[in-house]
Chains A and B, each alone.
Chain A
Amino acid sequence: MPSRRRTLLKVIILGDSGVGKTSLMNQYVNKKFSNQYKATIGADFLTKEVQFEDRLFTLQIWDTAGQERFQSLGVAFYRGADCCVLVYDVNSMKSFENLNNWREEFLIQASPSDPENFPFVVLGNKVDIDGGNSRVVSEKKARAWCASKGNIPYFETSAKEGTNVEEAFQCIAKNALKSGEEEEIYLPDTLDVGTSSQPRTGGCEC
């Protein structure tokens, strides 16, 4: 298990139906956007190699169904996650309000060993729509919520145009890596990454 941790980083994307989870994943991994994604049934994942300080990691990004009714599957899909990405649509207040439910549900189902410090990253997606005119959740409001939940890193993204997607996933990967490290601090060869001394929740506006 520890050796898996060091090379495979598991990331779960959660959020309401239609906020753009599949699109974000595909934009990051395949640099592609399509208007014709189907609603995700069950779960799927894509992988991408990422490099940090001369070390290669496989980022395994899990895309899940957004309807609450499918949450009972979470137990199987969330286990072993190193980071959880919470996505909402800046044009939908409901999707923002549900972030808290998604976060709590994740913590219950994944039951990470240290829930207080488990890394989340929040993405406010679809900032491109209507030039931002249909936006109903302000950046300020979103950042305030993130701050209240232990300084969750926050990004505003457009999966369609690729805005901020790379940056967001860099941060996601870094947080996932740090999350992994804490569990295997006893392994000497993980210490040379040199970032483990930073407070992990310190907001990664990287």
Chain B
Amino acid sequence: MHEIDLHDLSDDADYAASMHQGSTSMTTSGGSKPSSSSEQVGVEIVYLKDNVAIHPTQHAWERIRGRLKLIKQGSSLLMTWIPYKGQSSSARLSEKDKCLYTLRAVPFSDIRSIRRHTPTLGWQYAIIVLSSGLAFPPLYFYNGGLKEFLATIKQHAFLVRSAEDANIFLVNDFQDPLQRTLSSLELPGAVSVANSPLSSVAPSESSPSWTDGGAPDMSSTYVQQNGSQRQKHNDPRHFSIQVLEKFSLVTRFARETKSQLLREAHGDGFISNARRKHDKKPNNYSFVVESSDVHEPLEDVPVPADSLEKRSNEKHSHNEEAALRDETFEYDKLSLVWGKPRQPPLGSKEWSTFLDSEGRIIDSQALRKRIFYGGVEKGLRKEVWRFLLGYHSYDSTYAERKYIASIKKSEYETLKNQWKSISKEQAKRFTKFRERKGLIEKDVVRTDRSIPFYEGDDNSNVKCLRDILLTYSFYNFDLGYCQGMSDFLSPILYVMENEPESFWCFVVLMERLGPNFNRDQNGVHSQLFALSKLVELLDNPLHDYFKQKDCLNYFFCFRWVLIQFKREFDLEKTMRLWEVLWTHYLSEHLHLYVCVAILRRYRSKIIGEEMDFDTLLKFINELSGHIDLDATLREAEALFICAGENGEACIPPGTPPSFPFEGTSMCYQQDDDDVL
């Protein structure tokens, strides 16, 4: 599954286009003056781009601009990114910040992959991931040139496109794919920014520190740091801050983590996460090693500007505090986070633009993207959900859908008649049927009864819920009925207002989510496991906290996962969330990132109040009705982007709502004694 696509880049339109101009612009791109370092013997600048920036905070206007270069030295290719002197966009971005981010001659032998991001809005950027699993902060190409950058690398180093993601380019990837997967599963290490040994010397364009071409052995360097000895020029705190920076780019609540970690890192001894390759127990990892031997004031650290948390134990000058206050204000106004702002829901007019004259969806990806960011208008759901759920295929025509609907209607009637025709005498001798029916009847009368659609005695829609669920339990007798299914069906019937169509939509939904209701609960357990891995990746201190409190089973998120937040939001918001999830636009498992987003939002409360399993469960249950959906979705999106391939590596293949593996798919572990 992790085969590397050995295609070269020429299949990529972007790349091909760049090749046309690439050769001419390569050495002189950007029209910048060559730097003095190019005069060194045997060193050739093969790529140079000005105005490549890093955003050390989530604020787009707080950026450090600099010059990106690829340098050919002998047979090795080196990358440098040097910030401009004295051009900070913000007074608070000190020379130290710049120093912190400076990339001095990183050899490509140390680089594992480059992830290309070419958003339609905003700047293109690239994330460079080292072979250690560490990542540099995104480099934003203000003047373009990302394509040329990749093309140039291709000319001078071994670069292949990842089979898993067309936007990931693997450098020097000769490792066993399995090994690579394992190492990418060493989650904590994957977060950070690694850098050359950070000196306190101000950055200077002309003195790349690694020009000998030898790659410093980062693992040994950091392992040493892990011990009590400190190296003057390898301040581990820098390292920790860089780790946090990547988070800080992302979201508001990320700042909680960061300031928290800064507090903890204050105690020094930031552990190396550079090399976990030989230690396959990520749980042993922690961001912070308890160590009391060094306590340095944080003023030395280039504190990122966005630390909003109370940091009573830190000393700030008055100016800094004022700046922080300003920032709070600015932030609330502008709220610049990575997750894109939500859009208004898709309306009929716009919907029609997605259809060709015969009713086919022209670009299903574009449609899914549109719905991902805005959802669907109420009146349009009936039509659009059929596609999102997979009842209709995107390339079907009006005529085909009409035909299928009529077929499916009669098919439903046939299925329904299977239990409708069971006589009283037969039912007497059919315990499993009676029990199943009883269970369903108990549940439908307590499903969403406060909604007018299901209100009142002898409500026909409630009866309809029962009929569909009972029919489903015959259609899929092995899975049968399980509590929670009525929660999934209720909004579908509410939207479809049509029994057979609701049934078939429910059927396709259960193709993905049926494992949630397996007798052994393995569907939920695999998701909770993936969730624990994601939290470990995206919020290691929170993971450690849960571990310490013996909460790693994540049962407190059971309800979230089992019925995809149905009980956490009102009906309208549940439907909005579901249609976003059903697009599977970024990931099939966005709901797990939603879990992480919510947990992270409340992380300081959870940790601060030292919640144990019981309190945590109570707290999570009581969040119901108090979760801001739009903000959570944005944060989930940001977390997904932040986690990148490492996030997806946390989620084993076949985890619901992915389609189950062939062969295991519909094995519901028949147990004659328990077929409810």
- Interface residues of chain A, those whose CB is within 8 Å of chain B, are 17-18, 35-39, 41-45, 60, 65-70, 72-73, 76-77, 94
Contacts and interface: CB of A to CB of B under 8 A. Distances in A.
A41 B449 contact: no
A72 B521 contact: yes
B482 A77 contact: no
Interface string B485-522: 01100000000000000000000000000000111110
Contacts of B567: 38, 41
Contact of A41 (B450, B483, B520, B676): B483
A45 B443 CA distance: 20
B602 interface: no
Nearest to A8: B614
A45 B618 contact: yes
A69 B446 contact: no
B443 A39 contact: yes
B439 interface: yes
Contacts of A76: 553, 555, 613
A41 B621 CA distance: 10
B433 to A, nearest CB: 13
Interface stretch (B118-126, B144-152, B190-198, B557-565): B557-565
Contacts of A44: 617-618, 621
A42 B483 contact: no
B483 A70 contact: yes
A70 B483 CA distance: 9
A70 B521 contact: yes
Interface in B388-446: 435, 438-439, 442-443, 446
A94 B486 CA distance: 22
Given A17-B442, A68-B674, A73 B555 contact: yes
B570 to A, nearest CB: 13
A67 B446 contact: no
B587 to A, nearest CB: 24
A68 B446 CA distance: 19
B443 A17 contact: yes
Contact of B483 (A39, A45, A77): A39
Contacts of B450: 36
Contacts of A35: 449
Contacts of B447: 38-39
Contacts of A60: 614
A65 B483 contact: yes
B617 A36 contact: no
| A37, A41, A42: most-surrounded residue (chain B CB, <10 A) | A42
Contacts of A66: 483
Interface in B240-296: none
Contact of B486 (A36, A39, A43, A73): A39
Contacts of B345: none
A39 B621 CA distance: 14
B644 interface: no
B609 to A, nearest CB: 16
A75 to B, nearest CB: 8
Given A69-B676, A77-B555, A41 B439 contact: no
B30 interface: no
B484 interface: yes
A65 B482 CA distance: 11
A58 to B, nearest CB: 11
Nearest to A77: B555
Nearest to B551: A76
A70 B558 CA distance: 10
A41 B563 contact: yes
9 contacts: A38-B446, A39-B442, A41-B483, A42-B558, A45-B618, A60-B614, A68-B674, A76-B553, A76-B613
A37 B482 contact: no
Nearest to B450: A36
Given A17-B443, A17-B483, A41-B483, A69 B555 contact: no
Given A42-B558, A45-B614, A69 B553 contact: no
Given A17-B442, A39-B483, A44-B617, A69 B519 contact: yes
Given A36-B446, A38-B567, A67 B483 contact: yes
Interface string B438-475: 11001100110110000000000000000000000000
Nearest to B445: A35
Nearest to B558: A42
B617 A69 contact: no
A41 B521 contact: no
A67 B485 CA distance: 12
A94 B567 CA distance: 29
Contacts of B442: 17-18, 39
A65 B567 CA distance: 14
A102 to B, nearest CB: 14
A125 B559 CA distance: 26
A16 to B, nearest CB: 9
Nearest to B481: A67
A36 B555 contact: no
Contacts of B517: 69
Contact of A37 (B446, B613, B614): B446
A37 B447 CA distance: 9
